Each structure stands twice: as structure tokens, then as C-alpha cells.
């Protein structure tokens, strides 16, 4: 287990305590939840009539420690629909258990969220991709989850979902089509992809040999988040849309002269594409059939 973080299952009652607290300090009753990835916190700027709460002020909430993750929960509206936005997420490499990483998703569920939109910064494994491409996630591979570091390990609370949930259709087909149609309408089709996201623990970037292996497994992009949150969202009965911003192309040749990946490059690419991501998310939400 990473660091010394204790594995806590966060049962219904303990999560409800956090949700009830939030419901007493805001009048917003969100139907859509948004999780902003590295450098993509500007998505939160699309929230109108925003009310912000720092994670550190919310009882039992984790605190983000990564550059590019502000650490705020933001309530408000986008395109007239009530939302709650996580400006900054949590990762296994920070020392948090998978259960604590995903606790905010369960809180969202008890706030009334029915749809989760997850975004992330990812490295491109598919050599047909380019830095700056936007990938609509159609499936994922979680090496972390497959190795037993899984957010649903521990006692199952049936108030959230079944003991053995199916994740086959985790990324909602209707929403994927909606996102693709939106990218076409916004003239972003030339740099829009669909593909498989692969989740590793980090925090180190992958070796060239590892990247070749991950690509051979059918992965198009690789990152250090998202899959645990999606698994818990599906377990809770939420519909999910996932978007990856390809912030760098991975190195597959040990003797390459290409620049090796670094977090500064991730943040810089995210900054350049932030406006495009904002437009996509805002327009998709406009089209979502939810009150």
C-alpha cells in the first residue's frame, strides 16, 4: 500500500455525513459532477454563480498535493444545469488509498449527481496521435486495479451498489457519440480521437520498454488517474463521459533523441488546449438530457 494511508471503506453513513455537511452550506443540488485533471482546472471557470470550498475545509476530504491541482470543490451551473466540479483530484502515488481517492465520487452520488465527466492529462501511446489531441475514452485498462489495488476492495455497502459490478460499458455510448458530434461541430475533428486509456500508479513516467508493452496490450493513452473514479461512479449507478488531453507522446525507443516527458510539458500543453476542452464540456452539458 502506498505510503501509510489506512484502507478505509467509506461506508454509506460516513460518506453521507460529508454530503449532508455540503448540502447545509450550499443551495446547489448538482446533477452533473466534473473532475478536472492536471492543468485542466480552467474547466472550473465555466461554472456560473460559483460557490467554492477548499478541500482542506471539508471534513474527511483528502487534500491534493500535486502542482496543477488547486484543491477546491465548486458548486454552480453550466448551461443552466446544476454541477459540482472538483478542481484537482487525488492519486494513489500521493499516498492515498483507492478508497479515499474515490470517496469524493461517492459524496457526489449522495449530493444527487447522476452524470460524471472525468478529464485527465495523458501520454500518447498510439503513434497516430499528436501532442494536443483530445481523446474520447471508450474503455480503460487499470493495471493498478488488476493488481489488487482496487477501490471496491473491502466490505461492500449495498446502498451504493452491487458486490460485483459490471464495468464493460463504463464509458456511456450515448455520451461518447455526443462528445464526438460536438467536436465535429466545433471544427475540432482533426485532433479528436477515441481510444483506450491505461491507468498506472505513477509517479514516475514509463520506461520505453513499458510503453511498447502497454501499446501492444491495446492502449492508446496512459496516465495516473481516472479509472478508480470511473469504477466507483459505475458502482454507484452514474453515467460517465471521459476525456483525455494528450499532453506528450511517450518515448518508445531507449536511444531516442526526443525530449523525455515531464510535468512542466503536461501543464504547458494543458494550458494551450484548455479553451478547447472548456468548449467541448460546456456544449456537451448543454445537450445532455437532464434537468
**CA-based torsion, 117, 151, 226, 28: positive or negative:** positive
Residue 291 annotated as catalytic: no
Catalytic pick among 44, 64, 91, 188: 91
Residue by residue, DSSP assigns 156-193 as --TTT--SS---TT-B-HHHHHHHHHHHHHTT-GGGEE
Residue 86 annotated as catalytic: no
Alpha-carbon gap, residue 105 to 103, rounded angstroms? 5
Q: Position of cell 454530503?
A: 19
Catalytic pick among 52, 263, 265, 268: 263
Alpha-carbon gap, residue 109 to 26, rounded angstroms? 16
Catalytic pick among 82, 126, 244, 248: 248
- Cα separation values, 36 from 5, 69, 212, 249, 253, Å: 23, 8, 28, 21, 31
Residue 235 annotated as catalytic: no
Residue 121 annotated as catalytic: yes
Neighbours of 286 (CB within 10 A): 12
Catalytic pick among 92, 93, 129, 205: 93
Q: Contacts from 66-71 at CB under 8 Å and sequence distance 24+? A: 66/38, 66/91, 66/94, 67/263, 67/267, 68/38, 68/39, 68/41, 68/263, 68/266, 68/267, 68/270, 69/36, 69/38, 69/41, 70/41, 70/44
Residue 64 annotated as catalytic: no
Q: Position of cell 498506472?
A: 200
Residue 244 annotated as catalytic: no
SS3 282: helix
Residue 79 annotated as catalytic: no
Residue 92 annotated as catalytic: no
Residue 166 annotated as catalytic: no
Q: Position of cell 449532508?
A: 20
Residue 69 annotated as catalytic: yes
Catalytic pick among 44, 55, 64, 69: 69
Catalytic residues: 38, 69, 91, 93-94, 121, 224-225, 248, 263
Amino acid at each position: 500500500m502506498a505510503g501509510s494511508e489506512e484502507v478505509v471503506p467509506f461506508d454509506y453513513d460516513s460518506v453521507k455525513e460529508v454530503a449532508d455537511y455540503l448540502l447545509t452550506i450550499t443551495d446547489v443540488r448538482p446533477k452533473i459532477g466534473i473532475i478536472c485533471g492536471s492543468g485542466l482546472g480552467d474547466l472550473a471557470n465555466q461554472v456560473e454563480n460559483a460557490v467554492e470550498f477548499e478541500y482542506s475545509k471539508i471534513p474527511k476530504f483528502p487534500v491534493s498535493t500535486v502542482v496543477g491541482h488547486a484543491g477546491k470543490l465548486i458548486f454552480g451551473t453550466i448551461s443552466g444545469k446544476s454541477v459540482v466540479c472538483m478542481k484537482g483530484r487525488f492519486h494513489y502515488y500521493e499516498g492515498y488509498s483507492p478508497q479515499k481517492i474515490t470517496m469524493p465520487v461517492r459524496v457526489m452520488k449522495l449530493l444527487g449527481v447522476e452524470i460524471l465527466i472525468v478529464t485527465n492529462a495523458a501520454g500518447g501511446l498510439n503513434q497516430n496521435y499528436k501532442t494536443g489531441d483530445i481523446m474520447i475514452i471508450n474503455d480503460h485498462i487499470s493495471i493498478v486495479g488488476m493488481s489488487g489495488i482496487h477501490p471496491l476492495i473491502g466490505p461492500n455497502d449495498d446502498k451504493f451498489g452491487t458486490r460485483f459490478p459490471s464495468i464493460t460499458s463504463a464509458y456511456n455510448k450515448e455520451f461518447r457519440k455526443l462528445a464526438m458530434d460536438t467536436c465535429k461541430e466545433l471544427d475540432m475533428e482533426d485532433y479528436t480521437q477515441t481510444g483506450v486509456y491505461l491507468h498506472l500508479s505513477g509517479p514516475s513516467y514509463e520506461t520505453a520498454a513499458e510503453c511498447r508493452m502497454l501499446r501492444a496490450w491495446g492502449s492508446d493513452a496512459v496516465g495516473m488517474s481516472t479509472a478508480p473514479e470511473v469504477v466507483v461512479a459505475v458502482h454507484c449507478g452514474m453515467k460517465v463521459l471521459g476525456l483525455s488531453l494528450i499532453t506528450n507522446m511517450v518515448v518508445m525507443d531507449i536511444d531516442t533523441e526526443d525530449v523525455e516527458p515531464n510535468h512542466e510539458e503536461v501543464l504547458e500543453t494543458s494550458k494551450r488546449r484548455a479553451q478547447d476542452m472548456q468548449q467541448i464540456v460546456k456544449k456537451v452539458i448543454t445537450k445532455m438530457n437532464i434537468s
